[in-house]
Amino acid sequence: MGKLYDKLEEYALNENYPMHMPGHKRNVELLGNKLPYHIDITEIYGFDNLHNPEGIIKEIENKAARIFNSKRSFILVNR
């Protein structure tokens, strides 16, 4: 998970303003810092896609499958 978290932190510290984000726009002043809103993104260039992972998300899913001794593993979103 470290590689993904590090990549998200790096993206959050750059000068990009998240116009693709609904509502909160990573506003920790408004929402507090209990949840990692400062690294919240959607599918954007340079990151993987949850619906068809081919990069860093695929690596995490494969690692989870090995850890849990399963055929496949998936990252799920929402509740």
Name the residue ranges covered by the structural domains of the chain.
Answer: 1-47, 48-79
Query: E strand or H helix at 5, and its extent?
Result: helix 2-12
| Residue 62: predicted pLDDT | 95
Q: State the DSSP H helix or E strand holding residue 31, giving kind and residue range, or none if neither.
A: helix 28-31
Query: For position 25, what pLDDT does the model report?
Result: 63
Q: What is the pLDDT along the chain (79 residues), one digit of tens a residue?
A: 578 888 888 887 887 766 666 665 666 677 666 767 677 777 777 788 888 899 888 999 999 999 999 999 998 876 5
What confidence score (pLDDT) does residue 46 get?
77
- Give pLDDT, residue 39: 76
Segment (H or E) for 49: none
